[in-house]
């Protein structure tokens, strides 16, 4: 008999490669899948279509986590401090609605907790938080080459310049919530 209590959290905060790499290090996270959601374009979207900004979809990750090891709220605190939730439709050089800061809730309890966490972390930022809180819709897995991107491409320029510093920050802010991993 398993003592696991598996739940889902779906979030977007810029490029999904960054968010995926961050949450792969968090203790209690069982699986992280990069993908797309939140749009209304018909059919399964492609990376190119989502990057165009015309599908309405956001780049997100869908995380399966063990709620007996880490809470939904703790995951949201990690999320809200691993990207800039005060920039509308932008994270660094990534600009467009597909890079919006968003929490997709899967039930009413998640919605309530997301609202509470966003309100709590707002006091730590100089600008208003623009993170969207929306009901989860259909989630589409991103193409295979976008899964485990950082693990498979650590020496690539984007990974070295953008993702590695995020992981350093993660380890400083949330060391108590991490697996034993190294960059």
C-alpha span between 180 and 171 (Å, rounded): 10
Q: Are 85 and 23 in contact (CB under 8 A)?
A: no
Structure token pair of residue 79: 């999320």
- Helix (H/G/I), strand (E/B), else coil: 135: strand
- Helix (H/G/I), strand (E/B), else coil: 60: strand
Q: Are 35 and 142 in contact (CB under 8 A)?
A: yes
C-alpha span between 172 and 168 (Å, rounded): 6
Q: Are 99 and 70 in contact (CB under 8 A)?
A: no
The residues that are catalytic are 15
């Amino acid at each position: 008999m398993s003592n696991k209590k598996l739940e889902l959290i779906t979030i977007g905060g810029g490029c999904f490669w960054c968010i995926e790499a961050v949450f792969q290090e968090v203790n209690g996270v069982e699986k992280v899948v990069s993908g797309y959601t939140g749009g209304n374009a018909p059919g399964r979207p492609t990376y190119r279509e989502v990057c165009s900004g015309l599908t309405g979809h956001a780049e997100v990750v869908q995380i399966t986590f063990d709620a007996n090891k880490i809470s939904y709220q703790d995951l949201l605190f990690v999320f809200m401090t691993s990207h800039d939730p005060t920039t509308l439709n932008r994270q660094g050089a990534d600009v467009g609605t597909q890079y919006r800061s968003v929490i997709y809730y899967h039930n009413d309890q998640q919605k309530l907790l997301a609202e509470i966490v966003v309100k709590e972390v707002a006091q730590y930022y100089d600008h208003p938080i623009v993170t969207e809180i929306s009901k989860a819709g259909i989630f589409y897995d991103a193409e295979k080459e976008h899964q485990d991107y950082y693990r498979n491409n650590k020496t690539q320029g984007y990974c070295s310049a953008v993702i590695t510093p995020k992981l350093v920050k993660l380890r400083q802010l949330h060391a108590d919530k991490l697996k034993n991993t190294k960059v």
